[in-house]
Amino acid sequence: MSDPTTDPTPDPSTDPSTVERAFAAALYAGTDTALDTGASLLAADPGADAELTRRGEEFLAAAWRRGWQPADVVRYVRRELDETHVRLVSALVLGEAGGRPAPHPRWAAQLAELAEQAGAPVPRTDRFSRATAVLELYRLLLTLPALEPLDPPRRAASSASAAGSSSTSGSGSNSRMLARIRALLAKAEATGYPQEAEALSAKAQELMARHSIDEAVLASGGTAARDGGGDAPGACRIGVDPPYETAKAVLLDAVASANRCRAVWHEEFGFSTVVGFEADLEVVELLHTSLLVQATAAMTAAEAAQRAGGRRRTKTFRQSFLAAYAHRMGDRLAAAVREQTAEAAGEGGRDLLPVLAARDVAVTEHLERMFPKTVTTRLRGVSDEAGWHQGTAAADRARVERHRPLR
């Protein structure tokens, strides 16, 4: 009879799995040799694939608890790794989501967009290469820090009694309004005529400003808003992608400020957190995306004209162009919103200005709770005079002009 205290036979139930051994070798050591060791273990054991995927979904669940959302993770992976890892993490996110309901509509929209962009599956390759890519991805997921949590968006009560009016304003009318804004901005992006783009952008901003005012009036009359269950400031994250991230972040800040929101740029993660009321956050996303498209098209045309004149354009030209565009566009958008607000207040809405002021205070307080410490970023690389003048001119051509208020 053998002595149990000296029996060398291991207990199979206590043996670490292939995935555990691969993780121990590769995830917590930053060397290529360690990565190769872990990938070799995984490549040699096809039976470990299911557990490997399950552990990746656990890493994602931990990221959600730390305040990340699907679009944030995919954006960060794209920033730090390559397209193979983006496809891997996209499939992992969609698999982890499964068939359960999304926590809120913005989350669901991110998953839907991710499913549309997923396209072809990860190309088949040898098991060692795939295991290496998976371990590189998991290494990155392990390093994700905690982010400021984003509260689910809340909207004002939509009943006629809450608004104190015989009209109604619900999710249906809101969707129709946003659809009209999207259509106008899409036409502005597609047209090759600056005057037409200017008119379409002006109409879109007019609708945005009026939409924001109507939402503010609606929220101010609702009992749900007063007891904390209605409209309240929230936040969303909007990607700020390379190149020229600083100038793009400045443009987003200008669009956010003009639409009664505040933006905080997280350079290391490739996004800005925008704080505001949900109706305003939606139009900030729409307008910022459209203006980026229009600014890029204008910059490309300006560069072509410069090249035709015998001058080569540089990175400094493009940075200066986008910075000037953002600066001028912020002034134009703010002026348009002031005009709309003044007209709305002059049409019998004498209580409108205190309502808007109260919302501005609420947004500022929410921002300070989320980010008690912020620093100002200097815009560097803006030294090309031609780029600055061309960018200013492009913003002037896309300026928002005064129109009669729409009902």
DSSP codes joined into one string, 229-252? SS---EEEEEE--SSSHHHHHHHH
Separation of alpha carbons 204 and 330, rounded Å: 15
Confirm if 59 and 159 have CB atoms less than 8 A apart. no
The whole-angstrom separation of Cα 398 and Cα 335 is 14
CA-CA distance, 38 to 61, in Å (whole number)? 23
Residue 389 structure tokens = 């003048």
What is the C-alpha to C-alpha distance for residues 61 and 203, in angstroms, rounded to an integer?
A: 42
Output the six-digit token pair for 142. Answer: 């392990």
Among the residues of 309-384, which ranges form H helices? Answer: 315-346, 352-370
Contact 76, 60 (CB under 8 A): no
SS3 100: coil
d(CA 250, CA 324): 10
18-26 helix and 49-65 helix, angle to the nearest 10 degrees:
60
- Identify the pLDDT of residue 75: 95
pLDDT score at 346: 74
- CB-based burial of residue 355 (10 Å sphere; 0-12 exposed, 13-18 middle, 19+ buried)? middle
Per-run averaged pLDDT (10 residues), the chain, 407 residues: 45 74 91 94 96 97 96 95 94 91 91 83 83 97 94 53 35 70 83 72 75 75 42 91 89 92 94 94 88 84 75 77 86 82 72 86 94 75 62 62 35
State residue 305's pLDDT score.
76
Of the candidates 295, 285, 319, the residue with the CA atom closest to the CA atom of residue 399: 295
Token pair recorded at residue 275: 């704080």
User: Residues 277, 260: contact at Cβ < 8 Å?
Assistant: yes
What is the C-alpha R_g of the chain?
26
Which residues partner with 239 through β-bridges? Answer: 271
The length of the chain is: 407
Q: How far apart are CA 259 and CA 332, in angstroms?
A: 12
Give the residue ranges of DSSP H helices in 44-69.
Answer: 49-65
Looking at residue 67, its pLDDT comes to 96
**Torsional class of 177: left (φ above 0), alpha (ψ -120 to 50), beta (otherwise):** alpha
Give Cβ neighbours of residue 352 (< 8 Å, ≥ 6 apart): 213, 216, 217, 341, 344, 345
Cβ–Cβ < 8 Å for 404, 334: no
Distance CA 54, CA 43 (A): 17
Q: Which element (helix H / strand E) includes 277?
A: none
- d(C-alpha 302, C-alpha 314), whole Å: 12
Q: Return the H-helix or E-strand segment holding 273.
A: strand 271-276
Question: How far is 249 from 64, CA to CA, in rounded Å?
Answer: 25
Question: How much is the pLDDT for 14?
Answer: 55
Q: Is 381 left (phi over 0), alpha (psi -120 to 50) or beta?
A: left
Number of neighbours of residue 127 by Cβ within 10 angstroms:
15
Q: Global pTM?
A: 0.79
5-19: string of b/e by CB count within 10 Å (b at 16+)? eeeeeeeeeeeeebb
